[in-house]
Amino acid sequence: MALLADGVSRLLIDGKLTSGGAGGFATVNPATEEVLGEAANADAADMDRAIGAARRAFDETDWSTNTELRVRCIRQLREAMLEHVEELRDLTIADVGAPRMLTAGAQLEGPINDLSFAADTAENYEWTQDLGEASPMGIPTRRSVVREAVGVVGAITPWNFPHQINLAKLGPALAAGNTVVLKPAPDTPWVAAVLGELIAEKTDIPPGVVNIVTSTDHALGAMLAKDQRVDLVSFTGSTATGRSVMADAAATIKKVFLELGGKSAFLVLDDADLAAACSVAGFSVCLHAGQGCAITTRLVVPRARYDEAVAIAAGTMGSIKAGDPSKPGTICGPVISARQRDRVQSYLDLAIEEGGTFACGGGRPADQPAGFFIEPTVIAGLTNEARVAREEIFGPVLTVIPHDGDDDAVRIANDSPYGLSATVYGADAERAAGVAARLRAGTVNVNGGVWYSADMPFGGYKQSGNGREMGVAGFEEYLEIKAIATAAN
């Protein structure tokens, strides 16, 4: 089979690939602004059918209890994606604007292979824990704790790393025994829709277990949060939308997992190799045009070496040109849309209004007449109180902030409504670890350590969300706990 052979994607509802009730909508290549093709545009009736199908599949089939079937199906999906990995690579570059180099990692191959972790976890998990016999209140009792699927999961995902986030929800949710309705971002509908094709044609996943509903109507996501047939909502996106999801879910007291925004700090201690640290910070902000919630976009450096740090970061970022993501050497591709490009530009304009300066970049690259590109930009001359230092920009933009020692660096890092990630660089490993321990962040990189891995939990503190994705902790987000006490006569 060829993926999206006719240039049109379809919904997956109750095991069938179908057109959308609201017709179709164009999906656009953000690097060229060319229309790639058409995606199915679901309406409220489509979402209602998808939720109903997921509910029936959970209530009326053995999916939730047949671990062997679930494990086999997840492995089939992994193999199907690997079989079509080159088609998926080209599709991801075109639909997402993801640089080709990243498709060997978190933009494609990493998430595909991480499905093995979900399958292996389910296969080896201790679903029932025997607590033995006791006599609470004098009554001999045999006790056990059982973990079982939550039920119907509504998964709402963004556009920046769609394979990673779609599969980080689908894999564990399915492995745990749930059924799923996936509502992906309308900016990247094709990379989600191809999952529907592969599931329908290459796996034994029963009808209704996975439903994929693409739509330009954001109200369909609210339907998942509000509908009493949905038992858990797993949302990744902006903090503002996360608040709405939580509020909508409150009416039915359903479980809510939120992975939200970030404004993460990269702390350079006064004993660190300044050139190495600031170069790493600048490089990381350019990856995928800075469109990552955990990217460290505040570079916090010793005040005495501030100008030097700015120059190093600007040297690195100024040498990285925003360009064609299909080329092997591209690091910084386009942002996802004209709207996002304009949003990033509005923050760059704000930086000047706030009294900042650009050490490099500051606007659209002159050599890219088409596409949604922004130059890698270093902002200098502002404090942590500036809006560009406090609000998530989601572009290749780094703000450099001075600190007056370790305590001040920690204060600046923690002085944020967010707490998703952080980085610490320092020559004294024990000192750097001590600083890391004081940071209010869900993931911390010390001296270049990598926290991204299938077996590592990912999530944030404060307004960066609640719960964890990936790792055993991420798998257990999709489980309920049942205590069983049987009289022992």
- Residues marked active site are found at 259
CA angle 273, 274, 280 (to 5 degrees): 95
Report yes or no: 169 and 181 within 8 Å, Cβ to Cβ. no
- The token pair that represents 203 in the structure block: 């796996």
Distance CA(210)–CA(57), nearest Å, equals: 9
* Token pair for 253: 């007291």
* Beta-bridge partner residues of 421: 443
Distance CA 43, CA 36 (A): 22
**Whether the Cβ atoms of residue 475 and residue 275 lie closer than 8 Å to each other:** no
Handedness of CA 260, 96, 39, 165 (dihedral sign): negative
**Contact in structure between 393 and 344 (CB atoms under 8 Å):** yes
CB within 8 Å of 354: residues ≥ 6 apart: 382, 386, 387, 388
Buried b (16+ CB within 10 A) or exposed e, 438-463: ebbbbbbbbbeeeeeebeebbbbbbb
Amino acid identity for residue 410 in this structure:
V
On whether the CB atoms of residues 77 and 200 are closer than 8 A, the answer is no
For residue 311, the surrounding DSSP H or E stretch is helix 306-318
